[in-house]
Structures are given as structure tokens and as C-alpha cells.
Amino acid sequence: MGLRGYIIKRILYSIVLVFLVITLNFIIFMLMPGNPIMNMANPARFRTTEQYEEQLRRFGLLDPPLVKYAKYVQNMLTFQFGYSYVTYGLIANEITERLMNTLVLSISCEVLAIALGIVLGVISAYKRGGIFDSLSVLFSIVTNALPVFWVGMLLLLVFSFNLHWFPLGYTYPQEWSFPGRWPTNFLVEIQYRLWHLFLPTATLVIILMGSYVLITRASMLEVLSEDYLVTARAKGVSERKILFKHAFKNASLPIITQVAIAFGFTLSGAIVTETVFSYPGMGLWIWTAIEKFDYPALQAIFFIIALCVIIANFLADLVYGLVDPRIKYE
């Protein structure tokens, strides 16, 4: 089977997997504890019985299960996702309002963590047994064990509350919300947004970087003693080229898997980090939806996360063959 046949096979497999995810997602929320109808029955929210029943019909809560499932599948496949139980607004619009904030935070911290983790991991493997190697492994193990909320709150305490170097949260100064206060200079807006983004990004980089250091070091140690690297050294190839071009390329498959999984969960956002820093992204929205039993929002979020993971793993399988010619598409 060639590359084209493999891609077609994987696409068909992914389509089947998407429908299984949709069905499982529907069943899980049908069996979830709590009654959304009772949550909506708060007299303070509806003045008349007609308003209450209208909302129930709007959300399809009075439909039989098969009709609910058909509407749910249509909403997922068209990316409309229905209406929120909390805001009564379209979930697609709710996602759009928060998506860019999460993408900026998640992608920036992932790129930084991957770059720093790979470089430190390669150097640590090259200097295995030395002081740098021991400190790198110790740092990675410690940061992997630290709770995310503790790191975030520690950074807030030191750099925001005590030193006043960075703000306590949000994506921009809250006084900008008042009429006429939004800056007209685009560069000033970017500067303040980066200022607010620094501590959440630093928190996630500290937590995530250690795993990339450890997996890169372990993968590099397996290939550094290979005969082809000894031959390359004998030919006078520089150590930097040997490490990052020859050895790292052959050791990169586990790293590609790790990166694919990480980017697959990008849209889920950093729930704890966004909550600590009051960062209005997908992660904070997930936390709010869980607290308020907003099932349609959670169904949409879980479907998007699963879809991203499926796509990320599909792309990772294709990259495997490009990185390692020994892998055949079958």
C-alpha cells in the first residue's frame, strides 16, 4: 500500500472514529447526574410557564432520545453546537469569543516548552552523567510533580503582588473596558497583551518543559552510541551537526508523538492556569460550564478536543514516514 492508499484508509478510519466519539459523547451526557430541566426551572429566570416551556422546546429537552440524537449529530457536524443552558446564546459564538485567547496562550507555551525542552534534552544526553545532566533531570522531575495552580499562584505572589512587575490576570487592563479607554495605538495594545500573557505562559512552560527534556534525553541516549555516529565523528563532522541533524532525527519519533498529543489538546485550554489568572479562554469556560451543568457547551468542547486529537495523530503518522524512511505506509 502506497502513501495515497494509506491516507485514504486513515481518513475512512478517522471518519468512523469521529462518529463513535459523537455517539459516546451523547450517551455520556444523557447518563450524567443532574437535571438540566430543574436547573432551568428557577422561577427567577422565567416569569411565566409559557416562557419556561418555550425554552425547553428551544433546547430540545422535550424531544424523544432519537430526535435528540439526530439534532445533536447535526449540530456537531455543522459546528453550530446548539445553545448554551446558561447564556442562551449560540455555543459557536461563545467558542469564537474565547478561541483566540486560548490559541495564543496554548500555542506560545507549547512552542517555547518544546524548543527549550528539546535543546536541554539533547545537551543533557550529550553530557550524560555530568552536573548539567543531573540538574536538568532534577529540574524536570520536580517541575513535573508540581501542581499547576501552585506554580501560578507562586508567580502571582512574587511578581504581581510583591514586585508589581506583572498584572494579576486577564488579557488586557480592565480599565480599557470603559468607553473611550481602548488604546488607538496597535503597538501599545500588543505590548499590554504580552505583558498580561507573560505569567500564564511562564507557568505552563515551567510545567510542560520537563516532560520534553526527559523524553528527548531518553530518546537521544538510545542512539548516541550507534555506529553511524562514530563513523560521522571519524569523518570530522561537527558535534552540533551530529547531535541535531543525525542523532536527533532518528530519536525524534517519541517526541513527535508527544508533540502531537500536546497540540491535540490545545483547544481544551489550560483549565487550571486560566482559572488562576482569570484568563478568558476555553479553559476557564470549561470550568464555568462544569460548575453550571452547561451540558451542550461541554458536549461541544469534548467533541472539538477529540477531533483535534484525531487530526493530530493522523498528521503525526504522516510525519513519521517523512522523518524515518524505514517506516512504510501499510
Query: Does residue 239 lie within any of the structural domains?
Result: yes
Could you give the CA distance from residue 137 to residue 217 in angstroms, rounded to a whole number? 9
The answer on 48 and 186 residing in a single domain is no
The residue out of 21, 47, 78 marking a domain boundary is: 78
In which domain, by residue range, is 40 found?
3-78
Portion of the chain with pLDDT greater than 70, in percent:
87
State the pLDDT at residue 41: 47
- Shared-domain flag, residues 261 and 123: yes
CATH number of the domain within which 152 lies: 1.10.3720.10
- Name the residue with higher pLDDT: 283 or 34: 283
On whether residue 109 sits in a domain, the answer given is yes
Classify residue 323 by its DSSP letter.
H
Is pLDDT larger for residue 269 or for residue 170? 170
Q: DSSP characters for 181-209?
A: -S-S-HHHHHHHHHHHHHHHHHHHHHHHH
88 within domain boundaries: no
Report the C-alpha gap between 181 and 198 in whole angstroms. 23
Measured CA to CA, the distance from residue 21 to residue 16 in angstroms comes to: 9
CA–CA dist 302, 304 (Å, integer): 5
Q: What is the three-class DSSP state of 83?
A: strand
**Are both 101 and 71 inside the same structural domain?**
no
Report the mean per-residue pLDDT for the chain: 80
pLDDT tens, residue by residue, 181-230: 777 777 887 888 888 889 999 998 998 888 899 888 888 888 877 777 77
Q: Please name every residue paired with 90 in a beta bridge, in sequence order, or none if there are none.
A: 83
Same-domain pairing of 72 and 154: no
Domain match, 140 and 202 both: yes
Domain identity same for 72 and 211: no
Last residue of a domain, one of 46, 78, 110: 78
Q: Which of 30, 48, 78 is the last residue of a domain?
A: 78
What SS3 class is residue 186? helix
Q: Are residues 130 and 264 in the same domain?
A: yes
Query: Structurally, how many domains does the chain consist of?
Result: 2
Does a structural domain hold residue 90? no
Residue 328 covered by a domain: no
Residue 298, burial from CB neighbour count under 10 angstroms (0-12, 13-18, 19+): buried
